[in-house]
Structure 1
Amino acid sequence: MAIYKSLEIFQKNPKSSVFYLHLNRPSHRNALSRDFFTEFPEALSSLDQNPNVNVIVLSGTGDHFCAGIDLKTLTSISENFVSVDRGRVGEQFRREIKWLQDAITAIERCRKPVIASIHGACIGGGIDIVTACDIRYCSKDAFFSVKEVDLAITADLGTLQRLPGIVGYGNAIELALTGRRFSGPEAKQLGLVSGVFDSRDELENGVRLIAEGIGLKSPLAVTGTKAVLQRSRELNVEQGLDYVATWNSAMLLSDDLTEAISAFAQKRKPVFAKL
């Protein structure tokens, strides 16, 4: 397994199909370095292609999930500009932003479901990351902030595109314009997270049980559900129904379906082949 500067991948149980991907710069509150933007999509791709992986849990080492993008990363981007031509600098800057965006969008490109397990700070770029995840949970002491406006930046890595679909436009614009800090329980009230756990230990154990449960389901059904839900965000109901009909015409008649029916009839747990 690859060695990363900003991340770590591991299994808690070698017999489990749940793999853990940790942001791993605890001394910097897991602020997103330039290494992260190179390594994160590579790590997700490797997990996506690994047939032993059914579910990915994304968390952070140390006391916080993510304090946002490292200011040194922003400085390094501006220092790379060599032209004095405003148009060429702008075009290069746009390509840099698209490259940063692509690292976050890698979560959505990953076929396997990605569950965010959030403790401590989840600020700025941390919000970009978790809004791209499929499911989010947090501990009671977690806190959040769409912080970019306070740094004189328009958030550009996905929060402004994904957050409104999760918490509603009115809530999203209020959070983005004020940059205010909000708690784990408020995140649950807004719909940003699906559940709040009393402590980090309870969060980790609860997320593990949820992930293990999903990991036991048909991999074809799980990856199909993620793909169809993502596509349906861009479609009306009629188009979405047509898309899932086409999807299932290719995927429904599988060995997974036969096994699920047999297991139900025999009152046993189904066992599915790796994907």
Structure 2
Amino acid sequence: MSEYQAFRVELADNIAHVQINRPEKINAMNAAFWTEIVDIFRWIDDTDAVRVVVLSGAGKHFSSGIDLMLLAGVANELGKDVGRNARLLRRKILELQSSFNAVDNCRKPVLAAIQGYCLGGAIDLISACDMRYAAADAQFSIKEIDIGMAADVGTLQRLPRIIGDGMLRELAYTGRTFGAEEALDIGLVNRTFADASGLLDGVMEIAREIAAKSPIAVAGTKEMLSYMRDHRIDDGLEYVATWNAAMLQSNDLRVAIAAHMSKQKPEFLD
């Protein structure tokens, strides 16, 4: 693993803990953040020893969103020609989107552990994760509306598949802050915990449970769930039939059945 400016990455017990590591800046997403997250998730995808990812933020807060200094830097690149400005801005937006696409497209499950602030771009990030969990002090806001723009890195595209349309519109149009209990009520998070320590312990326990399963089965399950976001039921059934025609020949199936019959805990290869 490489050393990173914006992250700390650890691998233990088949779990990659990816932690945003700029607590003195409320884990704001600077230029290094956007490039490093792509490299990190490429490494995760390529490393068979990684079976599950836990994504968290160092310090009191998960993330305050995009670093305003980064936005100011982009503004300084703009000139007088509208067409060239539009081309530059579009390219920058697509680059940022690709960073969170790397999280969404990861073959391993990604669990977000959220405490304190989760604002603006941080909502885009957790929307790209498989599951989300929050400490009682978590505060969420789709903040982009308050700086005069529409969220453009995934929130408005991914959240409709996570929470209800009407509630999403309310939160996106108002930019209001809401807490962990409301996030639980609307389905944004799976579970809440009393504090940040309990949050990380609880999420790691869920990650360990997933990591103990067949990595072939977990990867196939994620692939099918992701596929179904954009396809009809009959398309999905056809795809899983083709997928499992190969994957049911994996030795993991025999290991799992033998362990179930002998009431032993199965052990799977990476």
1:170 alignment counterpart: 166
- 1:146 partnered with 2:122: no
2:69 alignment counterpart: 72
2:114 alignment counterpart: 118
Distance 2:77 2:37 in 1: 21
User: Deviation at 1:271?
Assistant: 0.9
Question: What SS class does the counterpart of residue 155 from structure 1 fall into?
Answer: coil
Please tell me whether the aligned partners of residues 164 and 171 of structure 1 are also in contact (alpha carbons under 8 angstroms).
no
Amino acid at match of 2:53: I
Gaps of 5+ in 1: none
2:15 alignment counterpart: 18
**TM-align CA RMSD:** 1.0
Q: C-alpha offsets along residues 247-272 of structure 1, whole Å, 9 cap, x if unaligned?
A: 11121221000100111111101111
Distance 1:87 1:17 in 2: 48
Distance 1:272 1:108 in 2: 25
Q: C-alpha offsets along residues 173-206 of structure 1, whole Å, 9 cap, x if unaligned?
A: 1100000000001000000000001111111111
Q: C-alpha offsets along residues 4-56 of structure 1, whole Å, 9 cap, x if unaligned?
A: 10011014xx4x11110000110110010011111001011112211211001
Question: What SS class does the counterpart of residue 176 from structure 1 fall into?
Answer: helix
Gaps of 5+ in 2: none
1:216 alignment counterpart: 212
Please tell me whether the aligned partners of residues 115 and 136 of structure 1 are also in contact (alpha carbons under 8 angstroms).
yes
Distance 1:131 1:67 in 2: 15
Counterparts of 1:28-43 in structure 2, within 5 Å, are: 28-43=25-40
Q: C-alpha offsets along residues 210-240 of structure 1, whole Å, 9 cap, x if unaligned?
A: 0000000000111111111011010111111
Amino acid at match of 1:133: C
Q: Percent identity?
A: 45
User: Deviation at 1:109?
Assistant: 1.5
Question: What SS class does the counterpart of residue 177 from structure 1 fall into?
Answer: helix
Question: What SS class does the counterpart of residue 59 from structure 2 fall into?
Answer: coil
Q: How many residues align?
A: 270
Q: C-alpha offsets along residues 37-82 of structure 1, whole Å, 9 cap, x if unaligned?
A: 110010111122112110010000011001010101111112233x
